[in-house]
Amino acid sequence: MKLLRLLILILLLPITGLAQIVYQDLTNTNIYDFIDELANNKIITITSVIKPYPRELISQKLQEASSPENRTKLSKRQQKELDFYLRDFKLELSPNLSYITKNSFFKKKEYFRLPFNPFEFVYKDSIFTFVVRPVLGGSYIRNENGSAYHRWNGAEVFGYVGKHFGFYASLRDNHENHLITNPGEFNQEEGAVWKPYPEGAGDYSEMRGGLTWKWKWGDLAFVKDHFTWGDNYHGSNIMSGRTPSIPYLQYHMKPLKWLEFTWVQAWLVSEVPDTTKTYTLPTGAKRITYFNKYYASSMFTFTPVGGLDLSIGNSVVYCANYMNPAYISPFLFYFNYGYAEGDGKSGFYGKEVQTFINVSTRNIKHLHLYADVFVNQASIEGISYKIGSRISDLLIRNFSLTAEYTRNNGKAYASALPTTSYTSNQYCLGSYLKENSMEIYAALCWKPIRGLRFDASYLFAKHGEGTTLSALDYKDQEIAVQAKYEVINNAYVFVEYLRRNVEGDVRYIPAIYFGNTNSLVAGINIGF
């Protein structure tokens, strides 16, 4: 811990300039999709390999798109969309808002409330700023197998202190009458640690939040949250962010326009009991201690020309009593260091290493091309790769077309030991389909007016038994049509029709989706 404090102190020494950051929740997919649309149309530039984005970054990109020169390049719908999101990020864009109003309750202090969003309260004085929002929502599924619902409620707060500090916290309590996500199931639902109830129901709470410190060319954050690494539109195979939120320390810097670096040290949940430290209390209750599990990862992103990002990185999952000081070094290549431990022959004892490369280009207007390769344990059988593209506003305004192919070899995420597996709470950190699988995904999106979008998508996915796809134990074909409308900032309603044909082992899919089903899904969300 002394070494960790020393590292933090060293990283904070060169701080200059005025900046603050708070991360934008990944579940707010609409704002991420709009930023992506602006980048594909070459209105702005963005490095999209790592998410979540800071709100400060999003606000900068929105402001860049709102310049007189860029605004004329946008369709009427995009202009209204831009104005819509500028309202939500007004706090970051205009720290000295002209319409701040005084109230005797706060005496000399000042506060304001954004008039566009009645669900939001904002307070501000010369040092302290914070925003409070409710989190409410629910979804309902109905098909031939029955019905299921998911409801959630809570609140979130974020803000800034002084010139450099940012903070945020979000608590959401969830209830499902039939559990629709578990570590062994193949879906894109956010992972959860359930408190089960009779007849398949369950509750869980998701707490996210953290502290951040920003300076001119970098930032440091200690948070508990989700994050993704790897360009994608239907789930990353490097770091998907699908697990329950994990605590991690992140150091990010961009000292040059063409160079960006991110390092993460995370605390995973092994769920593997350490029998040597497990004991029974006099009351008869058992005290179970679990093995410590850690994750360290780093990524360099080079931008040789505008619109082209080349990223290379590596990661390690290891089991130890305490965090290994060597992995606190942001620039360590973990594969080589692995041989320095143990007996010099089996350098992976007590750890497993991964390497990855991501390429993303938006050099052709309207077109985003991307590809990545993930390699587990330096093995050909441990390779997972993804290639994809999105065309935005080409020939027909307000339309986008997405195509993506993913292939995971037989040992892409396989592990000899559960204490060093590429998982947290037993959820795979990478592809939701795990090893020995493939996926084809295609989607068409139409946005006729501000806030309204229609999506049609096709999915074909399969998973093989053992290490070969020739012996299938899971196959899924889906056709989905969805309408979604964001009524005000951070509040939307949606309805979806989903035709699905799932074959194979029932343990890979929630019971409500097994077999041939025609599902109607509807929901509402306020806050994220």
DSSP 108-156: T-EEE--TT-TT-EEEE-SSEEEEEEEEEEEEEEEETTEEEEEEEEEEE
More confident residue, 119 or 158: 158
| Tens of pLDDT, residues 98-135 | 444 444 344 444 455 554 567 788 888 878 888 999 99
pLDDT for 413 equals 95
Does pLDDT of 452 surpass 70? yes
Rounded to whole angstroms, how far apart are CA atoms 161 and 167? 8
| Tens of pLDDT, residues 365-387 | 999 999 999 999 999 999 999 99
More confident residue, 505 or 364: 364
pLDDT for 403 equals 98
- Mean pLDDT score, 465-488: 89
Rounded to whole angstroms, how far apart are CA atoms 14 and 66? 32
pTM: 0.91
SS3 (DSSP) at 83: helix
Q: Are 398 and 446 in contact (CB under 8 A)?
A: yes
Rounded to whole angstroms, how far apart are CA atoms 501 and 365? 37
| Tens of pLDDT, residues 233-272 | 999 999 999 999 999 999 999 999 999 999 999 999 999 9
pLDDT for 458 equals 98
Statement: 2-526 belongs to CATH 2.40.160.130 = yes
pLDDT for 253 equals 95
| Tens of pLDDT, residues 6-58 | 445 444 444 444 468 999 999 999 999 999 999 999 999 999 999 999 999 99
**For the chain, how big is the Rg over CA atoms in Å?**
23
pLDDT for 117 equals 67
Q: How confident is the model at residue 206 (pLDDT cuts 50, 70, 90)?
A: very high
Asked which of 81-90, 129-138, 196-205, 213-222 is least confident by mean pLDDT, the reply is 196-205
**Which two structure tokens, joined as six digits, stand for 81?**
């969309």
Average pLDDT for the chain: 88
CA distances from 407 to 202, 375, 382, 383, 440 (A): 33, 12, 11, 8, 9
**Which two structure tokens, joined as six digits, stand for 191?**
């992972």
Look up tokens 């309805």; give the residue: 495
Does pLDDT of 340 surpass 60? no
- Mean pLDDT score, 276-281: 83
pLDDT for 42 equals 97
Rounded to whole angstroms, how far apart are CA atoms 53 and 47? 10
Asked which of 193-202, 388-397, 484-493, 501-510 is least confident by mean pLDDT, the reply is 193-202
More confident residue, 184 or 497: 497
pLDDT for 467 equals 67
pLDDT for 312 equals 97
Q: What are phi and psi of 472, to 5 degrees?
A: -75, 140
Reported as half-sphere exposure (CB side, CA atoms, 13 A), residue 216 has a value of 8
Q: How confident is the model at residue 331 (pLDDT cuts 50, 70, 90)?
A: confident
Asked which of 164-173, 297-306, 470-479 is least confident by mean pLDDT, the reply is 470-479
Q: Are 135 and 153 in contact (CB under 8 A)?
A: yes
SS3 (DSSP) at 12: helix
